[in-house]
């Protein structure tokens, strides 16, 4: 029988699971939430490990199916549709925050920064699939809850964005943030 009280037992998550996270149902009322559509930048998480990845601190792999009718293609840019690069960066922050909830962290997730971002390609409406890969570098889960990771965004088999030192924190009170 599956333990539904401990989300960490799962190593992959469906779109419905991600929507449940956005409603605050996956990690509980005190856990972090993913954004709701249209700001949710993934369709599924295909792999999560607590001790894998390039640094042995955890690994996340997620996917987004590309369809020409995705909302951002209609407005960024008119006549020259492309997925905004900031949305790929936000997806990586979303995944770091999700990981913090997955390991039991409590609080509201907030992006805290990034070391370096490089864009070497683009995501067009003709693409099929985006893959996000996050390698956790540091995870603090005490009074301070924070994660730091390196990430990459791949479209149709080609890495097009890389980011170092993606930082996300979980906060009990964000009113003075």
Q: Which residues are catalytic?
A: 76
Distance CA 28, CA 94 (A): 17
Please provide the size of the chain in residues. Answer: 177
Query: Are the CB atoms for 28 and 54 separated by under 8 Å?
Result: no
Kindly tell me the burial class for residue 62, based on how many C-beta atoms sit within 10 Å of its own C-beta (0-12, 13-18, 19 or more): buried
CA distance 42 to 51: 22
Instruction: Tell me if 42 sits within 8 A of 62, measured CB to CB.
Output: yes
Following CA atoms 105, 22, 75, 120 in sequence, which dihedral angle do they give, to the nearest 10 degrees?
30
């Amino acid at each position: 029988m599956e333990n539904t009280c401990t989300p960490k037992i799962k190593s992959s998550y469906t779109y419905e699971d991600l929507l449940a996270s956005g409603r605050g149902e996956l990690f509980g009322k005190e856990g972090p939430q993913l954004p709701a559509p249209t700001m949710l930048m993934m369709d599924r998480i295909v792999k999560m490990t607590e001790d894998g990845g390039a640094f042995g601190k955890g690994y996340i792999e997620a996917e987004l199916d590309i369809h020409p009718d995705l909302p951002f293609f209609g407005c960024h840019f008119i006549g020259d549709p492309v997925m905004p690069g900031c949305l790929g960066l936000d997806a990586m922050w979303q995944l770091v925050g999700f990981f913090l909830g997955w390991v039991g962290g409590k609080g509201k997730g907030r992006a805290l920064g990034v070391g370096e971002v490089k864009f070497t390609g683009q995501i067009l409406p003709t693409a099929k699939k985006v893959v996000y890969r996050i390698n956790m570098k540091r995870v603090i889960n005490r009074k301070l809850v924070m994660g730091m990771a390196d990430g990459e965004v791949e479209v149709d088999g080609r890495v097009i964005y890389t980011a170092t030192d993606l930082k996300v924190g979980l906060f009990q009170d964000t009113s003075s943030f």
